[in-house]
Amino acid sequence: MLLVSGVAWLAFTPNPPLRVAAGWDKGEHALAFALLALSAVRAFPGAPRLVCPGALLGYGVLIEIVQAYVPGRSSEAADVLADLAGILLGSLIAAGWRRIAPD
């Protein structure tokens, strides 16, 4: 929940004083959503396979909709694609983790 709250704060604050910079906006989206996906899949191991990734994709879409109305922010479909790339990466890492070290 702390990770989701941190991403929300970074996404919805008009000018966040802290800038986590990966050097590329899309990379920042992918990194944030990879961490969210890895955490979600690990936290809810019994959830159907597409529930966590689907919920996170919905969260990414919600962020972009809200950012269209936040001063100093913009909404981009490319950000959702970067979120999706991160979700896929995080989910793959979680799946590999599960195979290497089953719960």
pTM, to two decimals: 0.85
16: three-class secondary structure by DSSP: coil
Contacts of 53 (CB under 8 A, 6+ apart): 37, 41, 87, 88, 91
Closest C-alpha to 87, from 64, 62, 59, 68: 59
The stretches of 22-103 forming alpha helices (DSSP H) are 25-43, 51-67, 77-100
Residue 74: the pLDDT is 86
What is the band of 20 on the pLDDT scale with cuts at 50, 70, 90? low
Using one digit for the tens of pLDDT, what is the confidence trace for 25-38?
898 899 999 999 99
